[in-house]
Amino acid sequence: MAYAYVGKILMVDLSRREVEEREIPDKIYEKYLSGLGLGYYILYNEVPAGADPLGPDNVIGFVSGLLTSTRSLFTGRWMVVGKSPLTGGCGDANCGGNFSPALKKAGYDGVFFKGVSEKPVYLEINDGVAQLRDATHVWGKDTVETDKILTKEAAGRRPRVVCIGRAGEKMSLISGISNDKGRMAGRSGMGAVMGSKNLKAVVVTGTRKTIPYDKEEMKRLSRKCLVWVKFQPPFIPGSGTPYMGKALRMMPMQMTQIGFLYKMLLKKWGTVSMNQASLEMGDAPIKNWKGTHLDFGTDKSYTVNPDVFTECEVQKYYCYSCPLGCGGICKIKDPRSEYDETHKPEYETVIALGGLLMNEDSYSIFYLNELLNRAGMDTISCGSSIAFAIECFENGLLTEEDTGGLALEWGNTDAIIKLVKMMINREGLGDILADGSKHAADRIGKGSHKYAMHAGGQDLPMHDGRNDPGFALHYAVEPTPGRHTIGSQLYYEMFNLWKRVTGIPKMKMFFHKNEKYISAEDKAIKAAACSKFMNVVNGLGMCKFGTFLGVDKIPVFEWINAATGWNKTPNEYMRIGERIQTIRQAFNIKHGVDPKQNRPNDRTLGAPPQTQGANKGRSVDLNRMIKAYWEEFGWDERTGIPSVGTMYDIEVNEEEVL
């Protein structure tokens, strides 16, 4: 009997309108878990080399996590995987909400799609019965409207919907996928893959129960964990966040960060809790990565003070099995908005549409967030693409004739709003920017690539590698490049992995900031540990924020054993994470992606270093770190290609090939 996982997936051929149920052997779950690992196991076997990401041979899959619905905490996230039209290789995005448990209740660990439908369709799954249905009536609808209509039409109890909006339908390469009317799986252009297949949505509902191996142990572990999550001091000063950033910027010494402190901020404000601190300390990129805290300092950063967002919050939002509740529903106060409410903008959204563009109008960010959520467009890539366009305009590479009369100037909020709408509708300059800054630079030419801040085609997130070199390294080495959710020096500190995993460096309580810029080998070992661990976390359907409490407080490895009965050690689970990373890297190699092409723009690495501000004089020795990282995985240190030995480990026997 399989515990924790269902043991089955659906493979849907949209061209033939055929739905096939497939059983997955137990040993595949032991090698790859579920979630991200299972997703890439399927992709590696199913997507032929050279497949057009927007063609019939590409496969897009929605997968739940191994620990979802097992009575563990923070385990309600789902993953979407496919060949990315944005980067040409690994494409995946991660999202919270309530879709993951619903997929398991419907009777499957994942549902995968290949082929192309002749007309718009959606898939409805109800207790193991799957049917393709006509989606013509919702094609052209935004994600919120689509969710409401299909929820009302669905059979069964409490249906859950994932869907695309206009950006996905128009195959914008920076389009994502929505659930819960605004929770976004935004990265890698997966919305475009759905749009290319004429697949509007997936609707799931069911009553199947997931059974853990040891229910009592799962309860005990979760109750103990809950004590740490629920504790909240009575007073946390909101006005102190900019001064926190100033202190972190000015002090020569740094304390190893304790995730418990960040948990308190998340619980009160959500991810926007660090808006001002990040802007002040050099973590948040400003003015398309060329600015500093002197450009968007305390006076301007106050416009995105965490309290601005809680003042607009009308309801807390909790993802499935989350006791923290960092999300929220907010009122939109912008008079230009035709909408009343939006999901609380995340940190990435606020910085991408705020400091990156020098936009001081905080109310506009709520409106822009809702516009992009309804369209199903990645807010990070949208903000980054507009920053690119503004700098092109500033340097004469774009004129008002190109922009449709818009004066693309830093902080011009009205122009930003109009350009976002043009991107959503693929109108004028918006049509060029709707595929991200790298693809826009390809079309504009004129030396514009130097203003495109991306890694391998994916626009960079809102964490500056000059402040934390671990971010820069992960942007470059992750098989899905430009990803901030995998690792950094900060993440390594908060994960506390050395307390459960042997053979990795232990952090000192205090260290000099310069230590972050000295040893490439040390950073590579820590980065590799983060990659392995987060592959495990994403195979479990677990939230990164939960793991920030540290594996000594959040019983990640113990939960897996109690849920499955496998009784593996933390090091054995890290080995699974290593295997998942290797199959992802192998997927890229199979599809002709040179790992060296994912190096970010030199500006983001401090080449040349800034002459003022929080990151003054800092640069990142990325080449040495990349080589050391690849070597840590047993790949060729010059090319990043997995060795024969590591490839042998991911190979499957003939009877395992799907």
SS3 of 218-287: the string is HHHHHHHHHHHHHCCCCCCCHHHHHHHHHHHHHCCEEECCCHHHHHHHHHHHCHHHHHHHHHHHCCCCCC
pLDDT at residue 637 tops 50: yes
Q: State how far the Cα of 501 lies from the Cα of 504, in Å rounded to an integer.
A: 7
pLDDT band at 654 (very low <50, low <70, confident <90, very high): very low
Query: pLDDT digit string (tens) for 44-74?
Result: 999 999 999 999 999 999 999 999 999 999 9
Helix axes 362-375, 143-153, angle to 10 degrees: 50
Q: State how far the Cα of 101 lies from the Cα of 119, in Å rounded to an integer.
A: 29
Q: What pLDDT, on a 0 to 100 scale, did the predictor assign at position 658? A: 34
State CA 370 to chain mean position distance: 18
Task: Look up tokens 């590479």; give the residue.
Answer: 397
Which of 264-268, 581-585, 600-604 comes out lowest in average pLDDT? 264-268
pLDDT at residue 657 tops 80: no
Contact (CB, 8 A) for 147 and 161 = yes
pLDDT at residue 231 tops 90: no
Query: pLDDT digit string (tens) for 157-188?
Result: 899 999 999 999 999 999 999 999 999 999 99
Q: What pLDDT, on a 0 to 100 scale, did the predictor assign at position 157? A: 81
pTM, whole model, 2 decimals? 0.97
What is the average per-residue pLDDT within 497-514?
A: 91
469-656 belongs to which CATH class? mainly alpha
Q: What pLDDT, on a 0 to 100 scale, did the predictor assign at position 238? A: 55
pLDDT band at 87 (very low <50, low <70, confident <90, very high): very high
Question: Higher model confidence: residue 351 or residue 300?
Answer: 351
CATH superfamily, domain at 8-205: Aldehyde ferredoxin oxidoreductase, N-terminal domain (3.60.9.10)
| CATH architecture for segment(s) 219-452 | Orthogonal Bundle (1.10)
Query: pLDDT digit string (tens) for 358-410?
Result: 999 999 999 999 999 999 999 999 999 999 999 999 999 999 999 999 999 99
Q: Residue 608, preceding bond cis, omega within 30 degrees?
A: yes
Query: pLDDT digit string (tens) for 511-538?
Result: 888 888 888 889 999 999 999 999 999 9
Query: pLDDT digit string (tens) for 415-447?
Result: 999 999 999 999 999 999 999 999 999 999 999
Q: In the chain, what are the domain boundaries?
A: 8-205, 219-452, 469-656
